[in-house]
A = this chain, B = another copy of it.
Amino acid sequence: VNENPTNVTIKDVARLSGVSPMTVSRVINQSQRVSPVTRSRVEQAISELGYVPSRLARGLSRQKTGTIALIVPDVANPFFTLIVRGAEDVARRAGYRVLLCDTRFDLTLEAEVIEDMIAHRVEGIVIAPVSDASRSQLKRLAKFGVPFVLIDRSIPGIECDAVLGDSTGGARILVEHLISLGHRRIAMILEDESVSTARDRLAGYAEALERAGIPPDPTLVVRATADPHGGLVGMEALLGRDDRPTAVFTVNNLVALGAIEAVRAAGLEVPDDVAFVCFDDIEYASLLYPFLRLYPFHPFLTVMLQPAETFGTLGTQLLFERIEGPRLERARKVVLPGDFLVRESCGANAHAA
């Protein structure tokens, strides 16, 4: 019995069982071309020595690492966390390992980790890119023949499989809802339009206004970082106006949190003074744990809830079809609709139980 079985190689097993390394290789790879007796003799030696085959060596030899990369801008954001969970699950079931990379919405870091994943010879990548500026990095992946699938954000000029939410349609529904409640001065807070979701949601917002015959007011569209701080700052700007909006559509839940904070800090009320709608929910507990039927805390935000985990599972499945399947025709875009959840922040159910 060896001290540290990590150092036990296929040769040691071969020696102990009196066969060639190749036969051992056949045994550990479930090949049928091994006689039952030798097989059991080899298996005996394997367990005696505590042998665990090195995937590293196998990967080098087979030119397949059995590894994929999962790249997200912020693991801690529950939206992306769910994507991670879904992707990890599908990958493991397919016998693959997942290298996780958090880019922190940093393009430079994203470039670095992508380079690193190439060096690691991952067989494919599932990525929620930082922005359109990620394009050059993805082109690099393509150059290296590394298959990848885009999640949540598409990038003009990049033809590849993608799993996206229906940003335009979702935004239209949210804004039309506000309009149906009588609002006409509806603002939007979003990040700069180098992110497809921001762009598409803005398009949906514009569409809804146009269909309702409400003339667009460019000053009601505010740019800010896509986080609570951005929401706060953006909302403060809107509140400083004489003709402040009666309703606000924010690009996501985090921006909404900051914006609502600004409203309350100004001594105003949601939804009475300003109504809110946004993408993505903040009621994570109820989302993560389906057991929680009657959620004890009354949810407040009216949202377009996206099936984040499905983004991850579906995206990873598409990736594996590329990796393992035959050469596929063209890029496949999957667009998943969200769930429209009407709650209090929009004013429709104001002051409900």
Q: Chain A interface (Cβ within 8 Å of chain B)?
A: 4-6, 50, 52-57, 59-60, 65, 67, 70, 75-78, 81-82, 84-85, 88-89, 92, 97-102, 113, 115-116, 118-121, 143-146, 227-229, 232, 253-254, 257-258, 260-261, 263-265, 270, 282, 284-285, 288-289, 291-297, 300
Contact = CB atoms under 8 A, between A and B. Distances in A.
Contacts of A97: 99, 116, 120
A256 B5 CA distance: 45
A216 B81 CA distance: 41
A299 to B, nearest CB: 10
B115 A289 contact: no
A227 B76 contact: no
Contact of A56 (B60, B82, B146, B254): B60
Q: How many copies does the complex hold?
A: 2
A117 to B, nearest CB: 8
Given A67-B99, A228-B292, 11 more contacts: A4-B144, A5-B143, A55-B116, A56-B120, A84-B100, A97-B120, A99-B99, A228-B291, A257-B295, A260-B296, A261-B295
Contacts of A6: 118, 121, 144-146
A228 B120 CA distance: 40
A119 B55 contact: yes
B60 A88 contact: no
A288 B5 CA distance: 42
11 contacts: A4-B143, A54-B60, A60-B60, A76-B81, A76-B84, A88-B100, A98-B99, A229-B291, A254-B285, A257-B295, A261-B296
A309 to B, nearest CB: 8
Contacts of A84: 75-76, 100
B59 A88 contact: no
In the A-B complex, list the 4 residue pairs whose CB atoms are closest, starting with the nearest.
A229-B291, A100-B100, A260-B296, A261-B296
Given A285-B254, A291-B229, A102 B121 contact: no
Nearest to A102: B88
Contacts of A270: 296
B52 A119 contact: yes
A121 to B, nearest CB: 5
A285 B285 contact: no
Contacts of A297: 300
A82 B76 contact: yes
A294 B265 contact: yes
A294 B261 contact: yes
A118 B97 CA distance: 12
A292 B78 contact: no
A282 B290 CA distance: 16
Nearest to A66: B120
A50 B142 CA distance: 13
